[in-house]
Amino acid sequence: MILEAAGVTKRFGAFTAVGNVSFSVREGEFFTLVGPSGSGKTTLLRMLVGMEKPTEGDLLLRGKIINAVPANRRPTCMVFQSLALFPHMSVGANVEFPMEIAGRPPDERRTRAWELLAQLHLDPNRYYDKNIAQCSGGERQRVALARALAYDPEIIFFDEPLSAIDARLRKFLQKEIKDIQRRTGKTFCYVTHSLEEAMVMSDRIAILRAGKIEQIGTPSEIYAEPKNAFVAEFMGEVNLLPVTGCVPRDNAPGAGEWTASLGKTLTLKLPSPLTVGETRKLLIRPESLRFLAEGERADNEIGVRIVNEFLLGSRTQYHVEASNGAALTVERLREDRPPETGGNLSRLGWDLADSQLLET
């Protein structure tokens, strides 16, 4: 393990911003801390970087406690949201700055800066002498990354570096940053409020809520098995129906009659049993819902009215309303059969294996 947090807490007065958090980051890993605003991501990152000391617990770099080692004495560096480039200096001078501080000779600095710029797809012939003020947002982002790599740090930390960049360029840079991490084999520790961004880039993700880690896992583990409704909801477009256990119609485990969503009774088959009166969230992904043809069956079926339909490239998204008033999102491939409507209602179905009962 290159980096470990062991029971780390940070309190500001009586307020606990980070509460007893433990995790470890592996050498060469792309590790992302993700969570909504105020969940403690920046506070945790500031402790990992050395800009803040934990109130309790330990931070370890290669097994050595580094709680009190200041940022400038750690073999790590940080790429900020604001990038913190020197605006009056050229691209080349910005990238060479860490090597200048380290006392490297000018020839070596220049050669390395050219290498790094080329690696980040900034043609050194064009960019080396260019002023930072003349660079676009995406170019500045790459200069900041080249400068971070010029420190040759053991870990590079990133604090929401793409949040101010427009959506198309952001997607491109996400792939570039991931690609650079792969090529350099460096350990990257990244903070974002976007789970989508975390999913694209990371080897593993830690999801924070109110200063605590809710779940740690690979993107596919988190996608396949979100630990609770908070994590599932944070993943974006998912259907989470509140279901409350009532008297099971038959005693078959998991199946039976349950009060589902908005208080009306629907007969649903559930993937695991409820106890009477208990309310949980039923997770059904939009792509797991399908419109049923005449005579076609599914474990669960409900009548729905299609409210809206959107084309999303290769998929079509339907916003539907169940007869009990619940709103659901359905996503089908464009080549799938369009929904059949009898009167105004379509039959929507899903199979038990495609739904999960989550803690709220």
* 40 makes contact with ligand ATP (CB under 6 A): yes
* 174 makes contact with ligand ATP (CB under 6 A): no
Structure tokens at 4: 């470990």
Query: Binding segment for ligand ATP among 35-43, 64-72, 198-206, 264-272 (CB under 6 A)?
Result: 35-43
- Judged by CB, which is closer to ligand ATP: 37, or 344? 37
54 touches 42 (CB < 8 A): no
> In whole angstroms, what is the distance from residue 204 CA to residue 193 CA?
15
Residue 20 CB, shortest distance to ligand ATP, in Å, is: 15
Residue 81 CB, shortest distance to ligand ATP, in Å, is: 9
Contact pick of 3, 19, 34, 35 for ligand ATP (by CB under 6 A):
35
Query: Binding segment for ligand ATP among 37-45, 198-206, 218-226, 251-259 (CB under 6 A)?
Result: 37-45
For residue 273, the tally of other CB atoms under 10 A from its CB is 16
Q: Tell me the CA distances in angstroms from 280 to 9, 185, 197, 222, one per residue in order.
A: 30, 42, 28, 19
| Residue 31 per-residue DSSP state | E
349 touches 298 (CB < 8 A): yes
Dihedral sign, Cα of residue 198, residue 69, residue 37, residue 232: positive
- Judged by CB, which is closer to ligand ATP: 41, or 74? 41
* 239 makes contact with ligand ATP (CB under 6 A): no
Using DSSP, state whether 115 is helix, strand or coil: helix
Residue 238 CB, shortest distance to ligand ATP, in Å, is: 22
Q: Provide the residue type at 291 as one letter.
A: F
> In whole angstroms, what is the distance from residue 122 CA to residue 114 CA?
9
* 161 makes contact with ligand ATP (CB under 6 A): no
- Judged by CB, which is closer to ligand ATP: 164, or 262? 164
Residues near ligand ATP (CB under 6 A) are 12, 15, 17, 35, 37-43, 193
